[in-house]
């Protein structure tokens, strides 16, 4: 009997596990994985075969990375009823500990399953909630076989591979009840259990006795990233992009609350939906969806929705399309996969009355390009593509992508013109958006798309906001500015348009309606990003374009290589929600700026694998575990030859971001002449009691001194407390001479301005002064690279500046990862455009001038 070993190991008078029986006519192909906190935490893989559950213990759990061969130890067969078991086995019983139903579904064999099992090599497809796609389960050979018990469980290379290799096991919720391991343990009732456990319902209404999570009072909706083309692969769900208002519904007994995306309570404005939601078949829930007016042809109209709020007779049907379930019957579902959440939501809608104005927003799995093409053909606004394996993230995320059929976005109204001819109220609206530094920028006028009622209503709203001066940083001039009434930028309008002119003004704009659910300050110019630029573990392998520079040295021209990020949604800067994917994308986009200062130089790296604020460490020596795009350079030290780290291109840079590198610190020399530095760097580090204006004045004094002795210098922010003054050199002088020169220059400044500067690291002597750190010019010393991030709050960037940009208001951490690219886009020329063309070296005359 196949279950004899299973039954002999257990006392069913004590353990709640089912005793079970062998099925005589097996026909199912059930797959499941149970997370098991026994003496050691592990995962149990079970496949229905021959009337029982064939079982393997996975000590490290499954992995979606085909390169990870996970040990699977074959254990005794379990009864089919065990696939419904979730609970706690008493401590002193066999397998004592908590068991969670971590994943379930079906498996499809590729070949004869019984024969393949006997041979010890099974090819199978899994269709689970967390695991999907093709897998290989095979017996190990040789001494590692351990009496045929040791197998390997490996993901095959397909669309589901590498989706989240590090984050997979962080999806720590039951697919049956939505509970965590701690909640299952807390819900366990003491004492023996004899009754057979029925399979738990997948409908959350069966969980009233296991309530463990408090319902959230607020939810920040997950927002999609705008890209140019839809993603491919079966793991992506594609939904219609609705043209309405995003609404989060909070359902409690006797209370229903509807909240807009900016946190405003819209319950009283949507009473018809409140009545319909009272029939939702659970006592409490949090659901996410979009309120729309659906027209007779099936399309949605934002303008008709806006008109209905303003008292006009509705020209369509008010509907609430629900696409996500975040909380249900005492359980937080946000950490479950989207597939799990939508499966639960769909089952709830099976119990809703037919014809309800609250409707389930369905999706298509896979075939993204075809779904998008069809959506555009029937005049929809676009589609939203969502990673079916992802949890719910209360921020803008690359797990959700937005692909539009037409250009359309929100703008802030900053003024209006006088009407002409038979026009009433006003002629056109002046529109703008905010840049990353919160400057309000003019984008053009819109004078079409209004009806008579909207003209009068808008004029009334704007009249109370009039001001004397323009709110725009770049207002229209000349004839464009005649007969303009300026207003405070507080009203947000949605506008469609055909594109942008060279002057960055809107082409053929048309007004669609006012938006009340968005704050003016969050309105930015939307930029469609190439999908392959969105570095994410759920994307296809990234094709990274080689960064080029017109300056010397330039990165070599090589063919693009594939870089794959794992756990790309790991947060590196928690205060901003900046992820590994965000950081890799930043370096890819600015590669032409940073690479000339990094490539072919030994590097010291500050690695923070868990993100800023967690454990960090420096690494300067090469190790074999580094990515293939990172190479070694041997350098002679005093007693031995040491291997240092070098990269050659963007591939090496991004592969180091994969390892959690938040700071890049290059040597002052390139590998081809390692004993001849090509720059001097003076780090001005102020004491805590030194004002910013004093730091700026001191930096200018150092520049003027260097200029007086014949050395041209360049300025950059440190991304910390001070500034860096950088002097490029022709490679003629050795380390000792360069360091001595830098030391003497620093000492000379302290003698000239003793009340301002100090050249010693002593904290007592530094009080009230600026430390000129010349020590960064010794052999093996490093400093932060231009355009590198810092592992500091806000992700500041060490940023090259023109000297004329240095003012008492120029903070050394002014530029950050969230505004540096806007700065670069506005610059007409590189602030350091002459850096690599500057030919100068230390002369005997200069050495005499810096003698202290």
Buried b / exposed e over 352-375, threshold 16 CB at 10 Å, is beeebbbbbbebbebbbeebbeeb
From the list 593, 814, 820, 839, the residue with the least C-alpha distance to 723 is: 814
E strands, 299-391, are 317-328, 331-332, 358-360, 364-365, 382-387
Check residue 77 and report its DSSP letter. E
- At 398, list the tokens: 């690359």
| Count of beta carbons in the 10 Å neighbourhood of residue 297 | 9
- At 842, list the tokens: 């230390």
Distance CA 672, CA 601 (A): 9
Confirm if 286 and 248 have CB atoms less than 8 A apart. Answer: yes
Distance CA 264, CA 519 (A): 11
- Active-site hit among 35, 139, 155, 241: 241
Using left for φ > 0, alpha for ψ between -120 and 50, and beta otherwise, residue 829 falls in beta
Non-local (6+) Cβ contacts of 804 within 8 A are none
**Can 69 be counted among the known catalytic residues?**
no
Chain centroid to Cα 534, Å, comes to: 9
- At 566, list the tokens: 């794992």
Distance CA 50, CA 23 (A): 8
Chain centroid to Cα 688, Å, comes to: 34
- At 311, list the tokens: 């008292």
Distance CA 482, CA 84 (A): 74
Distance CA 444, CA 497 (A): 11
Count Cα neighbours of 795 within 13 Å in the Cβ-side half-sphere: 24
Instruction: Give the residue carrying structure tokens 């949090």.
Output: 286
Q: Is 71 helix (H, G, I), strand (E, B) or coil?
A: strand
Kindly list the catalytic residues. 241
């Amino acid at each position: 009997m196949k279950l004899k070993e299973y039954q002999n190991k257990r006392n069913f008078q004590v353990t709640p596990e089912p005793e079970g029986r062998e099925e005589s006519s097996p026909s199912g192909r059930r797959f499941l994985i149970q997370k098991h906190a026994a003496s050691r935490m592990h995962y149990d893989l079970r496949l229905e075969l021959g009337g029982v559950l064939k079982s393997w213990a996975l000590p490290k759990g499954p992995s979606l990375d085909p390169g990870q061969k996970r040990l699977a130890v074959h254990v005794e067969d379990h009864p089919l009823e065990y696939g419904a078991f979730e609970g706690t086995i008493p401590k002193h019983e066999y397998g004592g500990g908590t068991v969670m139903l971590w994943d379930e579904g079906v498996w499809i064999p590729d070949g004869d399953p019984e024969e393949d099992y006997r041979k010890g090599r099974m090819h199978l497809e899994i269709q689970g909630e967390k695991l999907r796609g093709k897998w290989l389960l095979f017996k190990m050979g040789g001494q590692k076989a351990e009496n045929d018990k040791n197998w390997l469980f490996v993901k095959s290379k397909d669309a589901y591979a590498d989706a989240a290799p590090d984050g997979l096991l962080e999806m720590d919720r039951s697919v049956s009840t939505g509970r965590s391991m701690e909640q299952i343990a807390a819900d366990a009732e003491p004492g023996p259990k004899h009754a057979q456990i029925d399979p738990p319902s997948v409908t959350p209404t069966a969980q009233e006795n296991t309530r463990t999570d408090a319902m959230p009072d607020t939810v920040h909706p997950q927002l999609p990233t705008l890209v140019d083309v839809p993603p491919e692969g079966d793991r992506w769900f594609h939904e219609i992009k609705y043209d309405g208002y995003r609404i989060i519904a909070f359902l409690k007994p006797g209370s229903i609350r509807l909240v807009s995306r900016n946190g405003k309570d819209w319950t009283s404005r949507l009473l018809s939906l409140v009545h319909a939601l009272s029939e939702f078949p659970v006592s409490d829930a949090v659901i996410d969806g979009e309120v729309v007016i659906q027209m007779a042809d099936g399309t949605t109209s934002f303008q008709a929705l806006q008109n209905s709020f303003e008292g006009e007779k509705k020209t369509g049907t008010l509907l609430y399309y629900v696409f996500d379930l975040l909380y249900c019957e005492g359980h937080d579902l946000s950490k479950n996969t989207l597939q799990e959440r939508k499966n639960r939501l769909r089952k709830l809608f099976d119990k809703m009355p037919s014809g309800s104005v609250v409707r389930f927003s369905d999706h298509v799995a896979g075939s993204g390009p075809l779904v998008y093409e069809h959506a555009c053909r029937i005049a929809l606004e676009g589609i939203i593509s969502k990673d079916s394996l992802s949890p719910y993230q209360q921020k803008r995320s690359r797990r959700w992508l937005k692909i539009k059929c037409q250009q359309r976005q929100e703008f802030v109204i900053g003024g209006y013109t006088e009407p002409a001819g038979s026009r009433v109220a006003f002629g056109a609206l002046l529109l703008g958006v905010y840049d990353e530094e919160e400057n309000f920028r003019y984008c053009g006028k819109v004078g079409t798309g209004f009806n008579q009622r909207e003209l009068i209503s808008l004029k009334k709203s704007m009249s109370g906001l009039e001001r004397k001066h323009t709110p725009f940083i770049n207002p229209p001039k000349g004839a464009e500015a005649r007969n303009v009434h300026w207003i405070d930028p507080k009203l947000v309008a949605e506008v469609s348009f055909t594109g942008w002119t060279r002057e960055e003004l809107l082409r053929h704009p048309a007004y669609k309606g006012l938006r009340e659910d968005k704050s003016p300050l969050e309105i930015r110019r939307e930029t469609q990003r190439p999908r392959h630029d969105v570095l994410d573990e759920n994307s296809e392998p990234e094709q990274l374009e080689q960064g080029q520079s017109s300056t010397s040295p330039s990165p070599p021209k090589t063919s693009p290589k594939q870089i794959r990020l794992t756990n790309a949604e790991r947060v590196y800067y928690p205060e901003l929600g900046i992820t590994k994917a965000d950081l890799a994308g930043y370096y890819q986009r600015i590669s032409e700026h940073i690479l000339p200062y990094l490539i072919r130089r030994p590097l010291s790296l500050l690695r923070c694998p868990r993100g800023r604020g967690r454990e960090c460490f420096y690494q300067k020596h090469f190790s074999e575990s580094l990515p293939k795009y990172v190479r070694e350079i041997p350098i002679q030290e005093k007693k031995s030859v040491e291997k240092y780290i070098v990269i050659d291109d963007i591939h090496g840079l991004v592969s180091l971001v994969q390892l959690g590198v938040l700071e890049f610190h290059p040597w002052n020399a390139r590998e081809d002449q390692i004993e001849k530095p090509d720059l001097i760097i003076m780090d001005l580090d102020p004491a805590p009691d030194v004002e910013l204006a004093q730091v700026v004045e001191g930096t200018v004094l150092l520049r003027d001194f260097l200029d007086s002795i014949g050395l041209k210098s360049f300025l950059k922010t440190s991304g910390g407390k001070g500034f860096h003054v950088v002097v490029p050199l022709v490679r003629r002088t050795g380390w000792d001479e360069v360091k001595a020169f830098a030391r003497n220059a620093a000492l000379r400044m302290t003698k000239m301005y003793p009340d301002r500067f100090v050249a010693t690291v002593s904290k007592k002597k530094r009080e009230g002064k600026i430390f000129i750190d010349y020590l960064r010019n010794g052999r093996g010393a490093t400093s932060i690279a231009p355009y590198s991030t810092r592992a500091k709050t806000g992700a500041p960037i060490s940023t090259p500046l023109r000297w004329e940009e240095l003012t008492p208001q120029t903070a050394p951490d002014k530029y950050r990862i969230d505004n540096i690219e806007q700065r670069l886009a506005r610059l007409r020329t590189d602030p350091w455009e002459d850096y690599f063309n500057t030919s100068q070296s230390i002369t005997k005359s200069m050495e005499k001038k810096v003698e202290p």
